C-alpha cells in the first residue's frame, strides 16, 4: 500500500448520536468509503430504519450513552458480535440554552452525562483494542461554545463542551505513543434539528448577520472533518481541535 494511502475500507467505526443531523451525515460519509458502522443512539426505531438505508455492514446499539453500565454492556455486545472499533465518533449530545441562574442541578447532571460523561465511557471501552492494534481514531464533536462562552447555548452545555475539549487533550497525550489519535471538532450553528427547532427565526437572522461566512454550517461539512481526522494519514494530528465557526473567531 502506498504511503499516501488514505483508505478507510474495512475499518470499523462506532458513531454515537448516529440518528442526529451530524451523526447521520458522518455515517453516510464513512459508509460511502467502505467503513463498517455501529450506530449508537437512544432512538432505536430511527436507528434501525437508518441502518437499513446505509449501504455497508451495520450494527445497531440502542443505548443511553450517559449510563455507564448501559455503555459497557452495549460495548461488550458490539465487540463480540461485530468486532472492535478502529474509529470512535462521540457525537451524541443534547442542547440546553439555560444560563447560570436558570440551570437546575438535574439539568446540569443530565447535560454532563450525555455530552461529556458518554465520551469518557466510550473512550474507555474502545481504547484497549486500539492499543492492541496500535491504531485508533477518537473524534469528539464539541462545540464553538467551549471558547465563546456559549453565544446562545446555556451554562451546562457550554461547560460540557469545555470538558470534552480537556478530555480530548488528556486522552490524546496519554495514548499518543500508541497510534491512537484523539481530536475534537468545534462547530457552531450546523443546520440540524438542534438549530432549526431551538432557535427562533429572529435569532437565526441575527446570527447570520454576525457570521462572516453569512451562512450556517452543514452536517456534511462536519462529516468531512470527521473523515479527515479518521484518515490513516492524520496520524500526526492529535490533541487538535478543528474550528468550524465560519470566521467568528480566528486563532
Residues labelled catalytic: 157
How far apart are CB 167 and ligand NAD at their closest, in Å? 13
CA 173 – CA 170 distance, rounded (Å): 5
Residue of 91, 126, 165, 223 that binds ligand NAD (CB under 6 A): 91
Residue of 141, 223, 226, 241 that binds ligand NAD (CB under 6 A): 141
For position 154 contacting ligand NAD by CB under 6 A, the verdict is no
Residue of 71, 74, 94, 242 that binds ligand NAD (CB under 6 A): 94
Residue with cell 454550517: 217
CA 218 – CA 223 distance, rounded (Å): 9
Give the interface segment with ligand NAD, choosing from 5-13, 64-72, 122-130, 204-212 (CB under 6 A).
64-72
Residue with cell 487533550: 169
Per the DSSP assignment, residues forming a β-bridge with 184 are 140, 241
How far apart are CB 192 and ligand NAD at their closest, in Å? 3
Per the DSSP assignment, residues forming a β-bridge with 138 are 88, 182
Give the interface segment with ligand NAD, choosing from 37-45, 173-181, 202-210, 234-242 (CB under 6 A).
37-45
Nearer to ligand NAD, 114 or 180 (CB): 114
CA angle 217, 172, 167 (to 5 degrees): 70
Residue of 15, 31, 37, 42 that binds ligand NAD (CB under 6 A): 42
For position 189 contacting ligand NAD by CB under 6 A, the verdict is yes
C-beta separation of 188 from 245 below 8 A? yes
Sheet bearing 241-244, strands edge to edge: 58-62, 36-41, 12-16, 87-90, 136-141, 180-187, 241-244
For position 194 contacting ligand NAD by CB under 6 A, the verdict is yes
Amino acid at each position: 500500500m502506498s504511503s499516501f494511502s488514505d483508505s478507510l475500507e474495512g475499518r470499523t467505526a462506532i458513531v454515537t448520536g448516529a440518528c442526529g443531523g451530524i451523526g447521520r451525515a458522518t455515517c453516510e460519509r464513512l459508509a460511502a468509503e467502505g467503513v463498517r458502522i455501529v450506530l449508537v443512539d437512544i432512538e432505536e426505531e430511527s436507528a434501525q430504519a437508518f441502518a437499513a438505508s446505509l449501504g455497508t455492514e451495520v450494527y445497531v446499539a440502542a443505548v443511553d450513552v450517559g449510563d455507564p453500565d448501559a455503555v459497557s454492556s452495549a460495548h461488550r455486545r458490539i465487540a463480540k458480535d461485530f468486532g472492535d472499533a478502529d474509529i470512535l465518533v462521540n457525537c451524541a449530545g443534547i442542547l440546553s440554552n439555560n444560563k447560570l441562574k436558570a440551570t437546575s442541578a438535574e439539568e446540569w447532571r443530565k447535560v454532563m452525562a450525555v455530552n461529556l460523561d458518554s465520551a469518557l465511557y466510550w473512550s474507555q471501552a474502545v481504547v484497549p483494542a486500539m492499543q492492541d492494534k496500535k491504531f485508533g481514531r477518537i473524534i469528539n464533536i464539541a462545540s464553538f461554545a467551549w471558547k465563546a462562552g456559549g453565544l446562545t447555548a446555556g451554562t451546562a452545555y457550554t461547560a460540557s463542551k469545555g470538558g470534552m475539549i480537556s478530555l480530548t487533550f488528556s486522552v490524546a497525550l496519554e495514548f499518543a505513543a500508541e497510534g491512537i489519535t484523539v481530536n475534537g471538532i468545534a462547530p457552531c450553528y450546523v443546520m440540524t434539528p438542534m438549530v432549526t427547532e431551538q432557535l427562533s427565526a429572529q435569532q437565526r437572522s441575527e446570527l447570520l448577520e454576525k457570521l462572516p461566512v453569512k451562512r450556517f454550517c452543514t452536517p456534511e461539512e462536519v462529516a468531512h472533518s470527521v473523515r479527515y481526522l479518521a484518515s490513516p494519514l492524520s496520524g500526526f494530528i492529535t490533541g487538535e481541535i478543528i474550528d468550524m465557526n465560519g470566521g467568528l473567531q480566528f486563532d
